[in-house]
């Protein structure tokens, strides 16, 4: 079973081994970091939790197996998807924090309960180790109210918490810091637009290290076109579809989340690799899907350049942002023609796990 490291001595030496846990509905991904060197000691994942025929019946069992095979750790950083307005920064987990994360679950019913399963299992097997929750939404807490309040009756915000929250915060924050390092400038002096383009896609305006607007909203459905999600849409389309197809709210959500986006438009795939191959072979639907994808990104970059009052760099990250030159080139083509000083274009691999480890480390060190 897992060993604990004596925290007092480690803190004095500023040396810790931080385990990061990303607990999803049927999987647990982990990485063990040596901090502050950032070296990965071990990483892996456990899949098919609770699925038919799997020998791992629940997260507790998964976590028990995972911890059994790990060397000593000093602290754990957990990814938690939704922190609502409760959590604006990483926090040490205790019973009160757990019940608040539970309360946030109504806003992320697919994610927060799975994240909590991981937290509870760790608390069961390793009681005396500090555990830190790091929230996907936290980086966007700096949005001003005029950016996060929707044009709905204000009471819905107060009663139901309906507002823009934004997601992928850990990734946007990480690449913003890395961009400042690359540019050799203080983050405090920079205006950045960070584009996280993976299966889920979001784009954030970062001024002086703070998120001032972001494309995902109340849920991760708003904004850019994504692999299977529609992104921005006239809300009247939703009720129109429900009436025309006589479908339930659940079925409508399913169509918007799983059957739309790149796969919905192209009818080929949600995978940009397959789509760009089809595009090169002259497939018209693949071309249209990629054009919509690119057009939305360009539109957001234009809007965010305006609200930032200028732009020092655009940062591309995640599967598509890091690897698909065709998308990056199309996004940037002629985009800054009118600007006297051209912004830098940076490609920076995201590393959400390292950011979680770093935030857990910094919190515990303090
Ligand atoms: P997730 O959001 O699930 O973490 P990724 O960040 O891996 O997903 O992004 C998935 C998208 O990135 C897919 O559209 C895929 O085609 C594209 N992608 C991932 N890796 C590569 C690669 N090496 N070359 C080209 N495209 C890639």
In this prediction, residue 290 carries a pLDDT of: 98
Overall size of the chain counted in residues: 366
Bridge partners for 118 per DSSP: none
Annotated catalytic residue within 58, 136, 271, 312: 136
Of the candidates 61, 87, 65, 92, the residue with the CA atom closest to the CA atom of residue 76: 92
Alpha-carbon distance of 101 to 50, in angstroms, equals 22
Task: Provide the 8-state DSSP code for 4.
Answer: B
Burial class (CB in 10 A: 0-12, 13-18, 19+), 366: exposed
| Known active-site residue 136 | yes
- In the chain, the domains with their CATH numbers are 7-135 (3.30.420.40), 183-352 (3.30.420.40)
Model pLDDT, residue 8: 52
Strands (E), 47-200: 75-80, 91-92, 131-135, 191-197
Contact 196, 171 (CB under 8 A): yes
- How is residue 73 annotated by DSSP? B
Q: Is the CB of 318 within 6 Å of ligand 1? A: yes
Give residue 62 CA to ligand 1 midpoint distance, Å.
27
pLDDT tens, residue order, the chain (366 aa) = 444 454 555 555 689 999 999 999 899 999 999 999 999 999 999 999 988 888 899 999 999 999 888 888 999 999 999 999 999 999 999 999 999 999 999 888 888 999 999 999 999 888 889 999 999 999 999 999 999 999 999 999 999 999 999 999 999 999 999 999 999 999 999 999 999 999 999 999 999 999 999 999 999 999 999 999 999 999 999 999 999 999 999 999 999 999 999 999 999 999 999 999 999 999 999 999 999 999 999 999 999 999 999 999 999 999 999 999 999 999 999 998 878 889 999 999 999 999 999 999 999 988
| Contact 271 CB / ligand 1 (< 6 Å) | yes
pTM of the model: 0.93
Structure tokens at 208: 């002086």
As a whole number of angstroms, the distance between CA 132 and CA 80 comes to: 10
Residue 14: per-residue pLDDT: 80
Sign of the CA dihedral with 142 first, then 147, 148, and 154 last: positive
Out of 167, 194, 198, mutate this one to test ligand 1's pocket (max ligand atoms within 8 Å of CB): namely 198
Does ligand 1 have an atom closer than 6 angstroms to the CB of 272? yes
Q: Is 79 exposed, middle or buried (0-12, 13-18, 19+ CB in 10 A)?
A: buried
* Alpha carbon distance 269, 277 (integer Å): 11
Of the chain, the end-to-end C-alpha distance in Å amounts to 28
Rounded CA separation 290/330 (Å): 9
CB 324 near ligand 1, within 6 Å: yes
């Amino acid at each position: 079973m897992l060993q604990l490291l004596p925290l007092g001595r480690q803190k004095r030496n500023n040396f810790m081994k931080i385990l990061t846990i990303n607990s999803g509905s049927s999987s647990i991904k982990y990485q063990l970091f040596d901090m502050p060197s950032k070296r990965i000691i071990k990483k892996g994942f456990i899949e098919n939790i609770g699925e038919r025929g799997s020998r791992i019946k629940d997260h507790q069992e998964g976590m028990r197996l995972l911890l059994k095979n790990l060397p000593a750790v000093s602290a754990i950083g957990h990814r938690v998807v939704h922190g609502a307005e409760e959590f604006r920064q990483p926090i040490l987990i205790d019973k009160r924090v757990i019940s608040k994360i539970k309360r946030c679950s109504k806003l992320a019913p697919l994610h927060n309960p799975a994240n909590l399963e991981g937290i509870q299992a760790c608390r069961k097997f390793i009681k005396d180790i500090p555990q830190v929750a790091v929230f996907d939404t936290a980086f966007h807490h700096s949005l001003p109210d005029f950016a996060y309040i929707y044009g709905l009756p204000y009471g819905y915000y107060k009663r139901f918490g309906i507002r823009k929250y934004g997601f992928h915060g850990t990734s946007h924050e990480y690449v913003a810091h890395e961009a400042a390092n690359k540019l050799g400038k203080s983050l405090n002096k920079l205006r950045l637009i960070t584009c996280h383009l993976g299966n889920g896609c979001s784009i954030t305006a970062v001024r002086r290290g703070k998120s001032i607007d972001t494309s995902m909203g109340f849920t991760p459905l708003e904004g850019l076109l994504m692999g299977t999600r529609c992104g921005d849409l006239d809300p009247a389309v939703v009720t129109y579809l429900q009436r025309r197809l006589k479908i339930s709210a659940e079925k409508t959500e399913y169509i918007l989340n799983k059957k739309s986006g790149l796969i919905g438009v192209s009818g080929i795939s949600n995978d940009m690799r397959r789509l760009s191959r089809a595009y090169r072979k002259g497939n018209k639907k693949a071309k249209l899907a990629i054009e919509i994808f690119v057009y939305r990104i360009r539109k957001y970059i234009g809007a965010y350049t305006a609200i930032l009052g200028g732009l020092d760099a655009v940062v591309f990250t995640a599967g598509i942002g890091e690897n698909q030159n065709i998308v990056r080139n199309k996004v940037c083509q002629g985009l800054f023609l009118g600007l006297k000083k051209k912004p830098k274009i940076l490609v920076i691999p995201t590393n959400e796990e390292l950011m979680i480890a770093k935030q857990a480390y910094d919190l515990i060190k303090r």
